[in-house]
Structure 1
Amino acid sequence: MSQQTPGLAIETAGLVKTFGETKAVDGVDLAVPTGTVYGVLGPNGAGKTTTVKMLATLLRPDGGEAHVFGHDVVREADEVRGRVSLTGQYASVDEDLTGTENLVLLGRLLGHHKKAARERAAQLLEAFGLTDAAGKQVKNYSGGMRRRIDITASILNTPDLLFLDEPTTGLDPRSRNQVWDIVRAVVAQGTTVLLTTQYLDEADQLASRIAVIDRGKVIAEGTKGELKASVGAGSVHLRLRDAEQRPEASRVLRRVLRADVQLEPDPVALTARVGAGTSNGRGTAEQAAAALAELARAGVVVDTFSLGQPSLDEVFLALTGHDTTAHDAPRAHDAPQADDGPQAHDGPQAHDGPQADDTKDGAAA
């Protein structure tokens, strides 16, 4: 890959990063279209943060190539830094300053005159619902407010590409929705967003394309629909009248649908993934209807029934054999090596603050 393909914000080929004997990133290939939210989905230790740090010029790759808007992240690091901004997993604004003071300070560092910096700060604080908290010290902000002020600081100068590394970790549902609204607003203004997350619903809500990464490798990539279709055409969800009938219902579904059956935490609920078709050519709806008829003949009473696409949870479990909260991948700690490549916070756009090494679980977080 000597030059980046037109229409792509990011293109990587065989990207590798090694820490000791651990390959945190093991041959990652990405193609991120401009003007979109691109999700990188995976559990802790998958290599998401290390990949972001290489793309943001915070770490030097050990192998492969990466281009951001056509610029090589190693040979043309300054050009890359001028077009990107990074918000890591933890707030990197100064907690002893107020919201306004943080934004004005960063605005001045980015080259704005004092009046322009104050105007831009006020504009962003209002846009993201922080005006009432503008005069409060950030240490008194809630978790959701801290994430909003951190993302706000990242877009003081509107970047062409914004890296969001697990931006909603630890937030309550209301705060997560507020951050999602900010992401949508940023993309509506033309910024490309690369979003790393271990929350399947977050990728489902925001990303137009998703790369599933596990143990440093991309194991699947595509739109949400493509990923869901890759593990089956749909899922049959049942709730029974009597919990004692669940073993019999499970046997019937396995026999008729020729599919694995998942027993849900609810003792009367179970789910079976339906394939695109069986040897007799029946479609998904016909398979589900046949299953219901067999359950009735077996005397199993079904209270509720639904047929839908597999969830991203089912996709990830099918692809990796574990869910996104798994902690079984090896950790690689990159703090001692963080200065081996050009630093993103040297550029005018990158916002990484004093906590540039923002992953407490190490580079492979």
Structure 2
Amino acid sequence: MVAPPAALVTGVSGQDGVHLARLLADRGTRVVGTVRPGDPALADMGVYLGGVEVVTHDVRDDEGFRALLQAHRPTMVFNLAGFSSVGASWDHPELVDEVNGAAAERMLAALLDHRDRAGFDVRYLQAGSAEETGDAADSPYARSKVRAHEATTRAREEHDLFACTAVLHNHESPLRPLRFVTRKITRAAAEIALGRRDELALGNLSVARDWGAAADYVDAMVRMLQTQAPTDLVIATGVTHTLQDLLEVAFEAAGAGDPAAYVVPDPALLRPADSPTMTADPSEARRVIDWEATANFEEVVAHMVRVDLARLRTGVEESVDYLDVR
């Protein structure tokens, strides 16, 4: 018996991978998700991936990717895997370029070969980043994302592959790792509210971003592969807030009092380059795929705080109950 067509999601153990895999599975799609060999996140994220066929794969392994295409014959490929920290990318520029940029080029070449050889069309979505432009565009992370974006555009325009890039602005959920400043803040607010810590070291609080909900953004990704014609779209809420705003909303949601009493400035946390403000216009996404964010900034941050409070009170770090934004 031949298995039904699948969606292949690289980086399925990450925040976006989990949300996307669950959305696709809920809609009746067979989901094959990749995790890198030895991925420590899988032990924690596995609770969210029931019904997903998880396979080990290094995105730099070209032959391995071709084997996945042959074995699973996906109709959709979502490339979400990669090096995701802008700040840490400065310490690993070659690795970032290989994982985020060169790997995407090889995936697209494999998809074209697969289509031409097997006559089996596949739609491809590249997870792009708002960091591709702006003051931090020279970071190794941003350059690698530009490389992947350009490769996706070439595959679409020169080889007629259904390939598009979702230019994603910041998006969050309780699944955001603690190394990201947003989760660092929500966790600290919860710990301070419960009397488990008394200070929080942060860098520049004036940076402004367009923050949305990860669950909303993966819905946009799926819609992009369901359109008549492939195109690149900016995915964002259209509303910008500062990190100071996020700090205040988090502390209020936790009942932790005035954050100024706990925040300690730390110059070591400043990035070598950073965009002070990143704004976005999501109107094209609304027009082309009938998409707009359903959760606002305050709801996203408050949800993360509620979950961090629950984690601390129960000792249960991961639970499917944590995904309900309301």
So what's the TM-score if we normalise by structure 2? 0.28
Q: Which is richer in helix?
A: 2
Structure showing greater Rg: 1
So what's the TM-score if we normalise by structure 1? 0.26
Compare relative contact order (CA 8 Å, sep 6+) and give the higher one, 1 or 2: 1
